[in-house]
Structure 1
Amino acid sequence: MKNILKHIKFIPAVLLLLVSCESLDLAPEDRFTDSNYWTSVNKAQTFLNTAYSQMQNSSRFFYNEALSDNAYNGRGDNEGAASIAAGIYDPSLGRIKGEWNDRYSGIKTCNLIIENIGRVPDADPAVIARMTAEARFIRAFQHFQLTTWFGDIPLVKKDPSLEEASTISRTPHAEVVEFILDELDAAIPALPKNTQLVPAERGRITVGAAVALKARVLLYESRWAEVAQVTEQFMANTYGQYALFGSYEGLFATQNEYSSEDILSLQYVPIDRMWGEFFDMAPISAGARLNGLAPTQELVDSYIMTNGKRINEAGSGYDENNPYANRDPRLTGTVVYDQYNWKEADGSSKTIYIKPGSDPNTAAPDEYAQGSSKTATGYYTRKYYDLQHTTSLNSGLNLMLFRYADILLMHAEAKNELNQMNSTVWDQTIKALRTRAGFTDGAALSYNASLGQTGLREVIRNERRTEFGMEGLRIFDIRRWKIAEDVLNGYAHGAQFGVSSVDNGYLRVNLRTFDPDKHYLWPIPRDERLINSNLTQNPNW
Structure 2
Amino acid sequence: MKRLLVYMLSGMTILGTSCSDFLDTAPLDALSPATTWKTETDAEKFLIGCYDGWADETGILYWDCASDFGFNFHAHEGWREIGAGTMSSTGNVADYYSFGMIRRCNDFIKNIESVEFADTNKKNDMIGQVKTIRAYQYFTKNWLYGGVPIIDSYETAEEAKVPRNTEEEVKKFIYDELDAAIPMLNDAPKASGYIAKGTALALKMRTALFYSDFQLAKDAAKAIIDLGQYGLDPSFENLFMVAGQNSKEIIAAVQHDENLYSNWTIATMYNNGDGGWSSMVPTQNLIDTYEMSNGLTKEEAGSGYDAKHPFANRDPRMAMTVLYPGMDWNGKVLNTLDKIDPTLEKPGNPNNDGSNNCSKTRLTWAKYLAPMDQYNDVWATNCQPIIFRYAEVLLSYAEAENELNGPSAEIYGMLDQIRERVGMPKVDRNKYSSKDKLRELIRRERGVELAGEGLRRQDIIRWKDTSGKMVAETVMNAELRAIIGTIDYEEKDPTKRAVITGNELIEERMFKPFHRYLPIKQDYIRKNDQLKQNAGY
Asked if TM exceeds 0.5, the reply is yes
CA deviations over 1:457-511 (Å, ceiling 9, x no partner) = 111111111111111111111121122211112211222349xxxx972221122
Distance 2:311 2:317 in 1: 11
Distance 1:165 1:17 in 2: 21
The answer as to 2:117 corresponding to 1:129 is no
CA deviations over 1:72-99 (Å, ceiling 9, x no partner) = 1113431x11122222222234545x31
Once the two structures are TM-superposed, the CA of residue 212 in structure 1 deviates from its matched residue by 0.8
Residue in structure 2 matched with residue 45 of structure 1 by the alignment? 44
Distance 1:452 1:204 in 2: 41
Q: 1:277 to 1:243 in 2, by over 3 A?
A: same
Distance 1:263 1:471 in 2: 14
Distance 1:7 1:306 in 2: 48
CA deviations over 1:360-402 (Å, ceiling 9, x no partner) = 2254545434455321111112111264323344311211100
Once the two structures are TM-superposed, the CA of residue 407 in structure 1 deviates from its matched residue by 0.5
Distance 2:181 2:133 in 1: 10
Runs (4+) off by over 4 Å = 17-20
Once the two structures are TM-superposed, the CA of residue 177 in structure 1 deviates from its matched residue by 0.8
SS in structure 2 opposite 1:535? Answer: coil
**Which residue of 16, 20, 25 corresponds with 1:15?**
20
The answer as to 2:186 corresponding to 1:192 is yes
Task: Report if aligned partners of 1:492, 1:511 keep a CA contact under 8 Å in 2.
Answer: yes
**Where do residues 169-184 of structure 1 align in structure 2 (5 Å cutoff)?**
169-184=163-178
Stretches of structure 2 that go unaligned for 5 or more consecutive residues are 464-469, 487-499
Residue in structure 2 matched with residue 529 of structure 1 by the alignment? 525
Distance 1:7 1:48 in 2: 14
**Which residue of 198, 212, 222 corresponds with 2:202?**
212
Residue in structure 2 matched with residue 463 of structure 1 by the alignment? 445
Q: 1:273 to 1:365 in 2, by over 3 A?
A: farther
Task: Report if aligned partners of 1:353, 1:366 keep a CA contact under 8 Å in 2.
Answer: no
The answer as to 2:407 corresponding to 1:421 is yes
Distance 2:534 2:389 in 1: 33
The answer as to 2:474 corresponding to 1:492 is no
Identity in percent:
30
Task: Report if aligned partners of 2:7, 2:260 keep a CA contact under 8 Å in 1.
Answer: no
Distance 1:208 1:455 in 2: 31
Once the two structures are TM-superposed, the CA of residue 175 in structure 1 deviates from its matched residue by 1.4
The answer as to 2:8 corresponding to 1:4 is yes
**Where do residues 318-337 of structure 1 align in structure 2 (5 Å cutoff)?**
318-337=305-324
Distance 1:389 1:99 in 2: 30
Residue identity matched to 1:181: Y
Residue identity matched to 1:307: N
Task: Report if aligned partners of 1:278, 1:288 keep a CA contact under 8 Å in 2.
Answer: no
Once the two structures are TM-superposed, the CA of residue 42 in structure 1 deviates from its matched residue by 2.7
Residue in structure 2 matched with residue 24 of structure 1 by the alignment? none
Q: TM-score, normalised by structure 1?
A: 0.88
Distance 1:105 1:372 in 2: 34
Stretches of structure 1 that go unaligned for 5 or more consecutive residues are 21-26, 344-348
**Where do residues 215-364 of structure 1 align in structure 2 (5 Å cutoff)?**
215-235=205-225, 237=226, 239-285=227-273, 287-342=274-329, 349-356=331-338, 357=340, 359-363=342-346
Residue in structure 1 matched with residue 421 of structure 2 by the alignment? 436
Residue identity matched to 1:185: D
Once the two structures are TM-superposed, the CA of residue 162 in structure 1 deviates from its matched residue by 2.0
Task: Report if aligned partners of 2:195, 2:252 keep a CA contact under 8 Å in 1.
Answer: yes
Distance 2:460 2:12 in 1: 35
Distance 1:18 1:76 in 2: 31
After superposition, the CA RMSD in angstroms is 2.3
Distance 1:359 1:445 in 2: 43
Task: Report if aligned partners of 1:412, 1:421 keep a CA contact under 8 Å in 2.
Answer: no
Distance 1:485 1:537 in 2: 22
Distance 2:19 2:89 in 1: 28
Distance 2:528 2:322 in 1: 45
Once the two structures are TM-superposed, the CA of residue 273 in structure 1 deviates from its matched residue by 1.2
Residue in structure 2 matched with residue 87 of structure 1 by the alignment? 85
Once the two structures are TM-superposed, the CA of residue 204 in structure 1 deviates from its matched residue by 0.7
Distance 2:91 2:118 in 1: 45
Residue identity matched to 1:405: A
Residue in structure 1 matched with residue 467 of structure 2 by the alignment? none
Residue in structure 2 matched with residue 23 of structure 1 by the alignment? none
Q: 1:40 to 1:526 in 2, by over 3 A?
A: same
**Which residue of 355, 364, 381 corresponds with 1:380?**
364
Once the two structures are TM-superposed, the CA of residue 333 in structure 1 deviates from its matched residue by 0.9
Distance 1:359 1:255 in 2: 34
Once the two structures are TM-superposed, the CA of residue 152 in structure 1 deviates from its matched residue by 1.5
Once the two structures are TM-superposed, the CA of residue 451 in structure 1 deviates from its matched residue by 4.9
**Which residue of 381, 392, 398 corresponds with 1:412?**
398
The answer as to 2:138 corresponding to 1:143 is yes
Task: Report if aligned partners of 1:265, 1:401 keep a CA contact under 8 Å in 2.
Answer: yes
Q: 1:17 to 1:322 in 2, by over 3 A?
A: same
Distance 2:150 2:220 in 1: 25
Distance 1:460 1:271 in 2: 40
Task: Report if aligned partners of 2:375, 2:381 keep a CA contact under 8 Å in 1.
Answer: yes
CA deviations over 1:47-82 (Å, ceiling 9, x no partner) = 22222122235432211121111111113431x111
Residue in structure 1 matched with residue 376 of structure 2 by the alignment? 390
CA deviations over 1:328-348 (Å, ceiling 9, x no partner) = 1111111111111225xxxxx
Q: TM-score, normalised by structure 2?
A: 0.89
Once the two structures are TM-superposed, the CA of residue 123 in structure 1 deviates from its matched residue by 4.7
Q: 1:464 to 1:11 in 2, by over 3 A?
A: farther
> How many residues were matched structurally?
509
**Where do residues 501-512 of structure 1 align in structure 2 (5 Å cutoff)?**
505-512=502-509
Q: 1:247 to 1:519 in 2, by over 3 A?
A: same
Once the two structures are TM-superposed, the CA of residue 534 in structure 1 deviates from its matched residue by 1.6
SS in structure 2 opposite 1:496? Answer: strand
Task: Report if aligned partners of 1:33, 1:112 keep a CA contact under 8 Å in 2.
Answer: no
Once the two structures are TM-superposed, the CA of residue 19 in structure 1 deviates from its matched residue by 5.5
**Where do residues 435-454 of structure 1 align in structure 2 (5 Å cutoff)?**
435-439=420-424, 441=425, 444-448=426-430, 450-454=432-436
CA deviations over 1:402-430 (Å, ceiling 9, x no partner) = 00000000011112212422233211x21
Residue identity matched to 1:437: V
Q: 1:31 to 1:484 in 2, by over 3 A?
A: farther
Distance 2:354 2:480 in 1: 15
